[in-house]
Amino acid sequence: MIKPEETMDATRLDEPIVQVDNLVVSFGKQHVLNGLSFSIARGQTLAIIGESGCGKTVLLKSLVGLIQPTAGGVQLAGADIATISSQALAELRTRTGFVFQQAALFDSMTVRENIAFPLSFNELGDENIEERSHQLLTELGLDPSISNRYPGELSGGMRKRVGMARALMMRPELLLYDEPTTGLDPIVSDVINELILRTRINHFVTSIIVTHDMKTVRKTADRVMMLLPFSQLSEGENQIIFDGPPSELDRTDDMRVQQFVRGDAGDRIAASTSNNSFIDGEWK
Amino acid sequence: MLCAECAPVITSLFLKLLGQMASGTVQTSNPSSRPTVLVQMANALYALGNFTVFCFKSISSLTTKGVQRGTLLPAAYQIGVQSIPVVALTGLFIGMVLAVQSYFQFHQLGMENRMGAMINITLVRELGPVLAATMLAGRIGSAIAAELGTMRVSEQIDAIDSMGISPIRYLVVPRVTACLFLVPALTIVADLVGVAGGFLYSSLALNIDAAQYFYNSKEYVTGFDLATGIIKSVFFGISIGLISCYHGFHCRVGARGVGRAATGAFVSAFVIILLLDLLLGIALDTIYFQFNPGGNSLL
């Protein structure tokens, strides 16, 4: 097991690991993020929720510079990612892990090669790659005998766990999860939630989880932030419509948050179908 | 050094601004209209600016950091070794077709013994490099664009970037390097097989004297002709590599996006090969005639 002091810079424990200032992201005429500002303390697990298209993944990718902001800035571990050199940004990225929605494993490589990839190509030769990948697979509940399999031969849950192992290979301080339970059955989803919790404890990482799954939010997060799609914002409204602990989600007065938490379609369906209602298993 | 780092960024920003200004003006006046010529020109300029920046980054990464360990051999195998059969077949048929097409005209003039010179000059200067490059643009250019496009769509390129590894250095540099060295090598293969194909067809099917065929070839095909073909193939190689990687990197989402990237890579590479062929042909001929004003005549 890795000790917290191995991954954390003890002198900067009180600084937020992520500081977002007035972040704006637009793609041409399409506005996605509208002046977001927030910070994340070290060791915290933040869940970002919101309906599809509200910019959760864009926000996650902006945090590590995979998407360039249109305006505003992101400070990662105290460094402004827009102004630091490409080498410094690359070095910073080695201290973060990204678990992608579909795992983004390299199809042409085996599980072992996928997990070893960050270490082998960052040329950190002193690490025992074989031993570490074996340890991570075991820790994430995978049989090390799958090491020689290709990603195409794995189930969705296994792919996600291999993706987590790859993200953990560099001993990150910050782990970013993009919809970690999407497309998985409830049991495997819970396994992933459990692994997110254990990873936090074992590796003392700060985690940011983008998800639609309220079970993931309640089980893993100690802070939740809900974003509203840009198109639904009223004049001068903050895009972050909820920011607090998961327990507060049920107590908020904001109907939009309540609607999302309950998974209620409300009046989203077009008026053409409003004369029909699905009652007792039938359209009436 | 600072200027070298800033230049592509400034170029990109300027062209992006130009593109946005043009598209903004038109779309504001009539949002439902099709893009006007101005918008299309601005988009083309923007794409050209993006491509220039991409080329600059790739070449800069190649020259300053070199090729990432363990990436060149797989690319060389895919681009070079696996292309030998198709390139050899292309060369063989070019040589034989040239013999078929030229025989009648040369026979009318009683110069069929000099066919070897014409076939081999055409082959090494023009058709060998151009057709081998076209075949390679189809075979490897589309494959590279589709592979990188799929990686882009499935977030594998983002994954590489998120680990602090440069996707340009890991994915583009080895492919461009392999194209740079192996397209000329494959062109030589096409030339050799084409020379053999032309000779075999001429001597076996058209009964042209083998000794005369070779004598005339040796007399008229110069080192400059060979060099012309090889120099062209170097430019074709680097163009195929850069264009196909660019299309893969800028692939749009979905299966349609990957398909478009593959097609776009081939079409763009093909057009650039023809354009370069013309420009290099003019430039190299100008140089040649500076040093050898009389040139070499078959007559």
* Cβ neighbour number for residue B3 with a 10 Å cutoff: 7
| Residues whose CB falls within 8 Å of the CB of residue B285, separated by 6 or more in sequence, listed in order | none
Q: What angle do CA A62, B155, B259 make, to 5 degrees?
A: 125
Q: Which two tokens stand for residue A97?
A: 């892990």
Question: What residue has token string 């766990």?
Answer: A161
CA distances, A173 to each of A12, A105, A154, A170 (Å): 12, 21, 28, 9
From the CA of B114, how many Å to the nearest CA of chain A?
Answer: 52
Q: Calculate the alpha carbon distances from A126 to A92, A97, A102, A167 in Å.
A: 20, 20, 31, 19
Please determine, for residue B294, whether its predicted confidence score (pLDDT) is greater than 90: no
Q: Cα–Cα distance between A202 and A138 in angstroms, integer?
A: 13
pLDDT at B184: 96
Separation CA A155–CA A188 (nearest Å):
10
Q: How far is residue B51's CA from residue A86's CA, in Å, rounded to a whole number?
A: 20
Tens digits of per-residue pLDDT, B253-270?
A: 888 999 999 999 999 999
Average pLDDT over residues B143-165: 94
- From the list B20, B155, B165, the residue facing A121 with the nearest CB is B165
Strands A16-27 and A71-76: antiparallel
DSSP state letter for B67:
P
Measured distance CA(B197)–CA(A46) in Å, rounded = 69
| Yes or no, beta carbons of B27 and A29 under 8 Å apart | yes
Closest partner CB to A100 (pick from B20, B159, B164): B159
What does the alpha-carbon distance between residue B50 and residue B134 come to, in Å, rounded to a whole number? 24
Please report which residue ranges of A147-185 form alpha helices under DSSP H.
156-168
Residues of chain B contacting residue A64, judged by C-beta atoms under 8 Å apart: 162
User: Which H or E element spans position A35?
Assistant: strand A30-41
pLDDT at A266 over 90: no
What is the SS3 assignment for A47?
Answer: strand
Give yes or no for residue A165 having a pLDDT over 50: yes
Tell me, what amino acid is at A117? Answer: F
Q: What tens digit of pLDDT does each residue of B210-240 get? A: 998 889 888 888 888 999 999 999 999 999 9
Instruction: Say if the Cβ atoms of A101 and B155 lie within 8 Å.
Output: yes
Residue B191 exposed, middle or buried by CB count within 10 Å (0-12, 13-18, 19+) = buried
Mean of pLDDT values over B148-163: 95
Classified as helix, coil or strand, A242 is strand
pLDDT, tens only, A98-116: 999 999 999 999 999 999 9
Task: List the one residue out of A45, A38, A36, A42 whose CA is nearest residue A17.
Answer: A42
pTM, 2 dp:
0.83
Helix (H, G, I), strand (E, B) or coil at A110: coil
Of A105, A107, A122, the CB nearest to B165: A122
User: Does A125 contact B at CB distance below 8 Å?
Assistant: no
Question: Which residues in chain B are closer than 8 Å to A93, comparing Cβ atoms?
Answer: 161-164
Say whether pLDDT at B5 is over 80: no
Q: Which among B69, B70, B155 has CB closest to A104?
A: B155
If you write DSSP's letter for every residue of A219-235 in order, what string do you get? Answer: HH-SEEEEE--GGGPPT
Q: Tell me the C-alpha distance between A115 and A212, whole Å.
A: 27
Q: How large is the C-alpha radius of gyration of chain B?
A: 23
User: Which secondary structure element, helix H or strand E, spans residue B90, and what is its range?
Assistant: helix B84-108
Cα separations (Å) of A84 from A41, A151, A176, B164? 22, 35, 21, 14
Which of the four pLDDT bands, split at 50, 70 and 90, describes residue B23?
very low
Distance CA B62, CA A85 (A): 18
Cα gap B143→B241, rounded to integer Å:
11
Classify strands A71-76 and A223-227 as parallel, antiparallel or unpaired.
Answer: unpaired
In the Cβ-directed half-sphere of B156, how many Cα atoms lie within 13 Å?
Answer: 21
Give per-residue pLDDT as tens, A40-99: 999 999 999 999 989 999 999 999 999 999 999 999 988 999 899 988 999 999 999 999
The single-letter code of the amino acid at B202 is: S
How many angstroms away from the CA of B129 is the closest CA of chain A? 32
Sort out which chain B residues have CB atoms less than 8 A from A27's CB and list them: none
The candidate with the shortest Cα–Cα distance to A160, out of A122, A109, A125, A111, is A111
* ipTM, interface predicted TM-score of the complex: 0.85
Q: Kindly tell me if the per-residue pLDDT of B19 is higher than 90.
A: no
Test A106 with B163 for CB contact under 8 angstroms.
Answer: no
